[in-house]
Amino acid sequence: MKILVLGGDGFCGWPTALHLSSAGHDVTIVDNLSRREIDARLGVQSLTPIATMQERIKAWHDVTGHTIRFAQFNIARDNEKLCDLLANTKPDAVVHFAEQRAAPYSMRGPAEKCYTVDNNVGGTHNLLVALTHYSPETHLVHLGTMGVYGYSGAGFSIPEGYLEVDVRDDAGQPQSREILFPTKPGSVYHMTKSLDQLLFQFYAQNDQLKITDLHQGIVWGTQTDHTEMDPRLVNRFDYDGEYGTVLNRFLVESAVGHPLTVHGTGGQTRAFINIRDTVRCIELAIKAPPKQGERVKILNQVAETLTVIDLAKLVASRTGAPIQHVANPRAEATENELVVSNATFQALGLDPLLLDSSLLEETIVLSQKHRNRVDLSMIPARSAWNRDRQQDIDEKSLAA
């Protein structure tokens, strides 16, 4: 298949591009390298020393003989380039990772809030318009997030995108409907993924685009079989307070002797998936497109759920790192239950890797190997969700 990977220089996009190329697909990456620019602006670098895109592509060719093409442009701004690429390539599938993906960065201040909305919603809408007019047969596979549901099952498993509701009509007769699961985003970033959902619903209905939206949990791990093939292929690994996600942060913290930074009680339950399963799920999703005219296919891309404190205890038990309960900069429920259905991926054959597997050791070893690259000043999470959260952080740091 001909596949475009938008955001293919990123943490999920790069190993996915390699996985698809290795499986024999004709892969073109589109990326504006904005994540590398944001890192430079924040003064942080990936724990792992990532090569330039040109070096990455050359290394992949050297090692496997496969060619990956690369186009550097902004999908939220360079509409003409996007339309031309789709018109000239007519890809079988487009995998859309190209969004600003950190909740803390999206809450950092006015500029970051506006950037996140403009970039994510603008980019997704440009893509839908370009597909509609220049490549309507293409299957769009988008990376959404569990956060659109708002992490609360309310006594039942979170279904895959749609909720069955019973209502009474004006004559008092019972009627059943299936609606998009009501969204309850917890950050500006998560809100953009909720807005994306509406754009998808409209273009699937109005223009019969084939769209799959993957509501993915927090991705942990770094390497895949392909990124391990050569040091120049190594995947990025974020540990800082803006972009580092919880488990990867705990693993780096343990490697540099920093306490594990549990926000609040750590009673927040979240969904997790290993990066090796992310790439497998995307391939499975590409192979099972919805039919033209069908509603958006929504799949929950998760392996398991766990509380933050249980995650910290797991890492502490492997590494001996101390646990520190820090003021939570986020406005989020202190505790929640979360049960999620991942029935479709299971039916497609996914047997997910779980957290107690040896892959945790692999990431611990990698964190220790690159511990000298860690800037301790970048570990604290400083983006407060609102004034109350900021006050709480200020008071706790004064008291300390």
Q: Which is nearer to ligand NAD, 158 or 327 (CB)?
A: 158
Residue 203 among the catalytic residues: no
Task: Determine, following the binding rule CB under 6 A, whether residue 142 of this chain makes contact with ligand USQ.
Answer: no
Task: Determine, following the binding rule CB under 6 A, whether residue 307 of this chain makes contact with ligand USQ.
Answer: no
Task: Determine, following the binding rule CB under 6 A, whether residue 340 of this chain makes contact with ligand USQ.
Answer: no
Catalytic residue among 115, 189, 239, 243: 189
**How far apart are CB 33 and ligand NAD at their closest, in Å?**
5
Alpha helices of the chain — where are they, by DSSP H?
13-22, 34-42, 53-64, 79-89, 103-106, 110-134, 188-207, 246-255, 275-287, 308-319, 343-347, 359-369, 387-399
**How far apart are CB 399 and ligand NAD at their closest, in Å?**
32
Binding-site member from 135, 138, 216, 344 for ligand NAD (CB under 6 A)? 216
* Cβ neighbours of residue 186 closer than 8 Å, sequence gap 6 or more: 103, 147, 150, 151, 330, 331, 332
Footprint (CB under 6 A) of ligand USQ, residues 91-110: 101-103
Given ligand NAD, ligand USQ, none, residue 261, with its beta carbon under 5 to 8 Å by kind, binds: ligand USQ
Residue 369 among the catalytic residues: no
Given ligand NAD, ligand USQ, none, residue 32, with its beta carbon under 5 to 8 Å by kind, binds: ligand NAD
Query: Which pair of tokens denotes residue 248?
Result: 């990867």
Alpha helices of 23-158 — where are they, by DSSP H?
34-42, 53-64, 79-89, 103-106, 110-134
DSSP 8-state assignment for residue 158: B
Task: Determine, following the binding rule CB under 6 A, whether residue 7 of this chain makes contact with ligand USQ.
Answer: no
- Beta strands 269-274 and 304-307 are antiparallel
DSSP string, 77-110: T-HHHHHHHHHHH--SEEEE--S---HHHHTS-H
In this structure, are residues 288 and 338 in contact, taking their beta carbons and an 8 Å threshold?
no
**How far apart are CB 238 and ligand USQ at their closest, in Å?**
8
Binding-site member from 146, 211, 214, 299 for ligand USQ (CB under 6 A)? 146
Task: Determine, following the binding rule CB under 6 A, whether residue 345 of this chain makes contact with ligand NAD.
Answer: no
Task: Determine, following the binding rule CB under 6 A, whether residue 153 of this chain makes contact with ligand NAD.
Answer: no
Residue 58 among the catalytic residues: no
Binding-site member from 47, 218, 255, 285 for ligand USQ (CB under 6 A)? 218
CA atoms of 184 and 396, how far apart (whole Å): 29
The closest alpha carbon to 264, from 379, 393, 152, belongs to 393
Task: Determine, following the binding rule CB under 6 A, whether residue 268 of this chain makes contact with ligand USQ.
Answer: yes
User: At which residue do the structure tokens 């790192």 appear?
Assistant: 321
Task: Determine, following the binding rule CB under 6 A, whether residue 3 of this chain makes contact with ligand USQ.
Answer: no
Task: Determine, following the binding rule CB under 6 A, whether residue 76 of this chain makes contact with ligand NAD.
Answer: yes
Given ligand USQ, ligand NAD, none, residue 12, with its beta carbon under 5 to 8 Å by kind, binds: ligand NAD
Catalytic residue among 16, 28, 145, 307: 145
In this structure, are residues 255 and 371 in contact, taking their beta carbons and an 8 Å threshold?
yes
* Cβ neighbours of residue 270 closer than 8 Å, sequence gap 6 or more: 146, 151, 217, 218, 246, 305, 306, 307, 308, 338
Task: Determine, following the binding rule CB under 6 A, whether residue 145 of this chain makes contact with ligand NAD.
Answer: yes
Terminal C-alpha separation, the chain:
57
How many Cα atoms occupy the beta-carbon half-sphere of 306 within 13 Å? 22
3-state secondary structure of 219: strand
Catalytic residue among 151, 193, 269, 363: 193
Task: Determine, following the binding rule CB under 6 A, whether residue 105 of this chain makes contact with ligand NAD.
Answer: no
Chain residues that interact with ligand NAD, rule: CB under 6 A: 7, 9-13, 31-35, 74-76, 97-101, 119, 123, 143, 145, 216, 218-219, 236, 245
Residues annotated as catalytic are 145, 189, 193
